[in-house]
Amino acid sequence: MKEKSLEVFVDGLTNYFDKTTSSLAKVSTPFLIQDINKYLQDYTGIIGISGNHKGSVFFTAPKIMVVKLISEIGVMTTKEEKLMDLVGEISNTIAGNARRVFGDQFMLSTPVVLKGKGEQLHVSNISSIYVIPVVWQNMSAHLIINLDTV
C-alpha cells in the first residue's frame, strides 16, 4: 500500500504541528512534480532513506512560517541558526515517526538542513515526486516525497 507510506510521513508532520502549536495544520491536495528545485522554500530539511525503499523525504517551509513556529514554543528570534535548528527538529520528528512505524524496512538518515533555493539539488528521480502541501495559519509548507517504490 503505497498511500500508507505517504501517510506515515504526513502524519509525522501534522503531529508536530498539533502537539507544539495552538492551531491545527491542514493537509491540502497532493500533486506530482518532476523537478524538485522549483518547490524548495527558504529552509529545507532532508531525510535520506535506504533499505527496502530508497530515496529522500524533504520538509521545506518559508522563513516566516519557521519564525512563527519558533515563537509558538516561546522563542522570539529570526536568527538563521535557530530557525535551521527548528527545521532540523521537525524533520527529525518526521523521521522518528517513520522509524516507529516501518521498523527496519526503512533506514533513515539524520536530517540535513539546507537554506534557500540557491543550492541546486540534484535529485535522481525515475518517476514523479509527490508534493503534499501542509497549510498552517495560511502559510504553506511542503512535504516532498521521492521514493523509488512508492
Partner 1 sequence: MGLSNIMRFKGLTFATLGLVVVFLVYLALNLLLNAKAERDLRYTTSIIQLLDRVSPSLSSSETQSSSETQNLISSLEGFKTGQSLRVSGETISTHTLSKFLAPQESTLDLLVTQMRAGDFNASTETAGGLIKSIDRRLSKKLKLTRYLQVAAGMIAIGFYLLVIIPMIMRLSENQDAEVKVVDETKGIMSTVSEGLFLLDHDYQIGLEQSASLKKIFKLDRDLEGDFFDFISNYVSQHTVQTAKEFLGLLYGDRVKEKLIKDLNPLNEVEINLVRRDGSYESRYLDFQFNRVMEEDKLKQILVSVTDETRRVLLERELAETKEEQEAQMDLLLRILKVDQAQLRTFFLAANSDLNSINSKLEARGHGSLEIQSKVADIAKTVHKLKGDAAALGLHNFEFIAHALEEELVLVKNNADKVSGKALLPAITKIKDLFSELEQMENLVEKLSQGQTQSLVDGADSIEATSAVAEDANASGFAHLLQDLSRTVSKRNNKRAHLEVHGLELTELPDELQETIQSVAVQLVRNSIVHGSLMPDQRLKAGKTDYINITTSLNETDQAYTLHVRDDGEGLDNQAILDRAIEIGMLKPEQLDRIDVKTAFKLIFHPNFSQLSEATLDGGRGVGLSLVHTMVKELGGAISVQHKLGRFSQFKVSIPKA
Total count of residues recorded for the chain: 150
d(CA 138, CA 140): 7
| CA 131-133-134 angle, 5° bins | 140
> Min. distance of Cβ 69 from partner 1 in angstroms?
18
Answer for which of 23, 26, 35, 78 binds partner 1 (CB under 8 A) is 26
| 104 counts as binding partner 1 under rule CB under 8 A | yes
Q: Does 150 bind partner 1 (CB under 8 A)?
A: yes
Segment contacting partner 1 by CB under 8 A, of 54-62, 84-92, 108-116, 131-139 = 131-139
Residues 6+ apart with CB under 8 A from 136: 17, 21, 23, 24, 25, 26, 65, 69
What string marks each residue from 41 to 80 as x (binds partner 1 by CB under 8 A) or -? ----------------------------------------
Of the pair 43, 130, the CB lying nearest partner 1 is at 130
Nearer to partner 1, 3 or 119 (CB): 3
- Cβ–Cβ under 8 Å, residues 145 and 132: yes
- Residue position matching grid coordinates 509558538: 72
